[in-house]
Structure 1
Amino acid sequence: MELQRMVLVVCCVLSLSAAEGVIKLPDNETFPALILFGDSIIDTGTNNYVANTLVTCDFPPYGRDFMGGTPTGRFSNGKVPSDFLGTPRSQPSDLLNGVNFASGGTGYDPLTAHLVSVVSLPEQLEQFKKYSENLKGNFGESKTNFILSKGLVLVVSSSNDIANTYFATGARKLQYDIPSYTDMLVQTASSFVKELYESGLRRIGVFGAPPLGCLPFLRTLFGGLQRICVEEINMASKLFNSKLSSELQNLNQSLPQAKVDLKLMTEDAAAQEP
């Protein structure tokens, strides 16, 4: 139930639909491609191919409600949000429609991906650069520049940093308090967006952190016998989102022709039992 509700929230926030390789938004605005970076919320199977990772879901009951009822590497019993934004294809020409680089378990903090051996955001960016070169080699520089500058980019990260690396494991608590840790996350997110911009991408949606203190496993760890939502963790999410919003506004002003937006998830996305 938890991820199903999150799917609904993500889709409502974006108001996206996919048809014939074009992502359509309100006011007849279209995007020729969808390019995704981030974590398990949008990962459609990347970790199936990551050796020695500690974060996998290629076993039952994952996938029981997906087509065929078998695990696919999605962190869900069915679809994940990225499935609602486009239709998977396998032809070479489908590179023009975009790529999903997301890897479940990753985050802005370099330690987050390292702890569980998944594809970090810098590694996802390197994969994107190879994809970009592949586009140029197959379709030419002009077509590639059009795809990158007009395509829609979504970055979904930060949940694993706050929920796992900081609170659940305490791996960063000796180095940072919550204000300084969220500062570090925001600066890393900002640097990542700048690198996307320098790589030719212009339309970028960055997701904030949901109210992570209402995640079932954190309520179990820190919510007492009643398993209530943990206000300290929710406040960390809010603080991160507030700082991220300000930083993205600065980027919009400093990066010519860039459109960088913050997308937020609601409490319903985190409060449901799995």
Structure 2
Amino acid sequence: MGKGILERLSLVPFGGRLPTLADRFDSRANSIGALRLVLAFAVLVAHCWPLVLGRSMLGSAESMRQTDVGKLAVYGFFVLSGFLITGSALRFSLPRYLWHRALRVLPGLWVCLLATALVMAPAVAYYERGNLDGFWNHPDGPLQYLWANWTLAMDQWTISGILADVPYGRGLEGGGPVNGSLWSLRYEVLCYIMLAALVAASVLARAPGAVVLLLLGTTGSSSKTSAGATGSSSGHPSTVNSALTRLSGPSTNSSSSTWPSYFCSARSPSCTPTGCP
């Protein structure tokens, strides 16, 4: 009896209807920031297996290569971020939303690229070789790294051939990737743009159900593409990685574009430095 009264009372502020997520969510008093921190740390820990130990991603063997801790953490992080970013797109005008997204990504990226190219890379090169001979004027040198990547293009992953002897760099022409985790930025920005288009077309405000249909259609199309790519001898991954590789532009034969092999071999021990079966 008492429980039923409490349940009915809890619906009073919502006009007698069941409360929605928008009703319950508090933009300030929530734990989303803490959850995203935990998920980001999980990605960091999971990547230690292939990057440091030369093994498959944490959780890959336990799930019989169906998934891994890093992949699940990335999915969770993107879902939570998408929830927050959608709220931002609905609250602000389109120019202000895009300005906020640019401020969120670009300054941090530029600081990261500068620190990587001008501090970390020379320090690693000096540690590995005992000098910096040929470092600054290398075809894939630090200045070229900055120029190739400052607009989110991420067309160069190595710097002056460093990290060639670490587990993840062995066998890769031109050295190992210095910050492979930046692969996700271009797709994050692509989602920002898609969300902006949905807001501009008033789809989110007037027909949010259409977004679900669009997502289902996109997922189905991707599944068919992945299935059709199975058994391909192109040397690229035969799953979603194949589509990402085609979108990235440069071939994996280039010393500066090692990200497709980096991306797939972290998840499959059968991958080689030049591609996946």
Relative contact order: is structure 1 or structure 2 higher (C-alpha 8 Å, sep ≥ 6)? Answer: 1
Same fold (TM over 0.5): no
Could you say which structure has the higher helix fraction? Answer: 2
TM-score (norm: length of structure 1)? 0.32
Q: What TM-score results when the alignment is normalised by the length of structure 2?
A: 0.31
